[in-house]
Amino acid sequence: MSEAPPAIHAAEVGDGDRRVVFLHGLFGQGKNFTQIAKALQPEFGSLLVDLPDHGRSAWTDGVDYVRMADAVAAFLRDGFAVSGPVHLVGHSMGGKVAMVLALRHPELIDRLVIVDIAPAFSEGSGQFEQLLGALASLDLTTLRRRGDADERLRESIPDPAVRLFLLQNLRAAGDHGYAWQAHLDLLRRDLPVIGGFPDLSEPPFDHPVLWVAGERSDYIRPEHEPEMRRLFPRTCEVTIKGAGHWVHSEQPAAFVSALRVFLGAA
The catalytic residues are 92, 185, 245
> Is residue 210 helix, strand or coil?
strand
Closest CA to 187 of 33, 57, 26: 26
Candidates 30, 54, 91, 114; CA nearest to 246 is: 91
For residues 71 and 153, give the distance between their C-alpha atoms in angstroms, rounded to a whole number. Answer: 34
For 114, 150, 193, the CA distances from 208, given in Å and listed in that order, are 11, 42, 27
Per-residue CA distances from 260 to 39, 43, 77, 92, 265 (Å)? 10, 9, 24, 20, 8
Q: Rounded distance, CA 80 to CA 22, Å?
A: 12
Residue 214 has φ and ψ, to the nearest 5°, of -85, 130
Find out whether 69 and 101 touch, Cβ atoms under 8 Å: yes
SS3 state of residue 137: coil
For 107, the 3-state DSSP assignment is helix
